[in-house]
Every structure is written in C-alpha cells, then in structure tokens.
Amino acid sequence: MQSSTLARLGLGFLFIYQGLVPKLVFLDKTELSINQQHLALMPMSMQGWLNSELIAQMAGMGEILLGLLILVFYKKNWPVWLAFTALAVLLLDIIVITPELLTGAFNPVISNISGMLLAWIALKDRGDSWNITLSRQ
C-alpha cells in the first residue's frame, strides 16, 4: 500500500471519528464550551435559533461528510485540500478564540498539525507540486 493511500485512510478516519465521537455520540464539554464562545460573538438574531449542541451536531455531520469524501473520491485531491485548509483554519480559530486549550495534553496543535501532515503525505505521493527537500549542507 502506498504511503499516500495510507495517509488518505488515516485522514478520512480522523474526520469521521472526530465528527462522530466527540460531537454526535458523546457530546464533549470542551466542544460545547468552544461553541458557546463562538455563539457569544454572533449577532443576537442568530443566537435565538443556534445553540452549542446544534453547532456541535452540524460540525460533526460536516466532519463525517468530509471524511467520507476523502475516502470515496480517493483519486481526487480536492477533498484532501479541503481537509488541509479546514484543519489550518480551525487551528487558527482555536488560537484566537480559546488559546487555553493549547496547553492541554490532548490539544488541537497536535491533532490538527498531524492531520495536516497526513494530508500533505496523501497529496505529495500523488504528484502534487509540493517539493520539500531536507538536506545537509
């Protein structure tokens, strides 16, 4: 099995698991706290129909969908690029909205950068134009 295929499987699993377990099956209190902080930044008109649980459920369904797209469209790079971009944007969001999460044992820096590296490996072996050379000089 090529490393790009293995990375793609890992990335798909990452999104399906993260969408299913902490957002739909076992609603995580940290997830709810992050969503509550986002709600506080939204206009009052949106706060009437949105709540932390609904945001978590919508995000969970979106993550599961992205994970499935990565696996189903295994010959296409766009789902992997979408995942890479989402992980980068979500990491920046956490840095701005809830920076206190960056110091925990299981934090978004580790999971998001690991996911971004999986995406990079999935793209690199498929002829994508990223050329990174590590050499001693």
pLDDT tens digits, residue range 59-114?
999 999 999 999 999 999 999 999 999 999 999 999 999 899 888 887 899 999 99
For the chain, what is the domain count? 1
* Residue 11 pLDDT > 90: yes
pLDDT interval class at 50 (50, 70, 90): confident
136 within a domain of the structure (yes/no): no
Predicted TM-score (pTM) of the model is: 0.84
35, 55 contact by CB (below 8 A)? yes
User: What was the pLDDT predicted at 44?
Assistant: 80
116 within a domain of the structure (yes/no): yes
* Domain containing residue 10: 3-124
* Residue 36 pLDDT > 80: yes
90 within a domain of the structure (yes/no): yes
137 within a domain of the structure (yes/no): no
